[in-house]
Amino acid sequence: MNPGLLAGIDPRAKLAAFLTVQALLFLPSLQPARARLSAVALVLLALLPFSRGACRRWLRLLALTAPLLAVLAFSSILDQADAAAAAHLGLWIAAKAALVLLSLSLFILGETPGRMLQSLRQLGVPPPAIAVMAIGMRFTGQWRLELEALRR
């Protein structure tokens, strides 16, 4: 079974790629926002075939966050007096959120928890933060076991 080409990349490089995408999406720049958003989307969508299961994870994340995205987009429309500008703002919110979720599913969610925690240690993340993440990962494994027991 082929795990995909992105599975062999060092988790530190994946973290760097994820943070780079976030910086490109949210830090202000002199470039037109539409061109920058399109370039990020093109690169991320081009990487999608090289990560096994990333498309499925991305669609699940979109389905889970769709109600929140809808509330954010519609609240931006309700707050604006100009309907065209409000629709434009709602579209930008939804597009950026979709790209954040795509980068999350490509670079972070496909990695094993142990490798990701080790890469965070190597990058110098404070030990208490890593301990909190490790506890959370331990509980998700326990919840998975309990869910399997309930299904039997």
| Cα–Cα distance, 106 to 130 (Å, whole number) | 21
| Cα–Cα distance, 15 to 120 (Å, whole number) | 9
| Cα–Cα distance, 112 to 8 (Å, whole number) | 11
Average pLDDT, the chain: 83
The whole-number pLDDT of residue 3 equals 62
pTM of the model: 0.72
Smallest CA-to-CA distance from 151 within 49, 143, 13 is with 143
Which residues neighbour 106 within 8 Å (Cβ) at sequence distance 6 or greater? 6, 44, 47, 48, 51, 54, 58
The whole-number pLDDT of residue 128 equals 92
| Cα–Cα distance, 106 to 47 (Å, whole number) | 8
Smallest CA-to-CA distance from 106 within 5, 6, 2 is with 6
Task: Examine the pLDDT at 139 and tell me if it is beyond 60.
Answer: yes
- 3-state class percentages of the chain: helix first, strand second, coil last, to nearest 5: 80, 0, 15
Task: Examine the pLDDT at 104 and tell me if it is beyond 60.
Answer: yes
Task: Examine the pLDDT at 2 and tell me if it is beyond 60.
Answer: no
Asked if residues 50 and 5 have their Cβ atoms less than 8 Å apart, the reply is yes
Over residues 41-99, the pLDDT tens digits come to: 998 888 888 888 888 888 888 888 888 888 877 776 666 666 677 667 777 888 888 89
| Cα–Cα distance, 149 to 143 (Å, whole number) | 10
The whole-number pLDDT of residue 83 equals 66
Task: Examine the pLDDT at 1 and tell me if it is beyond 50.
Answer: no
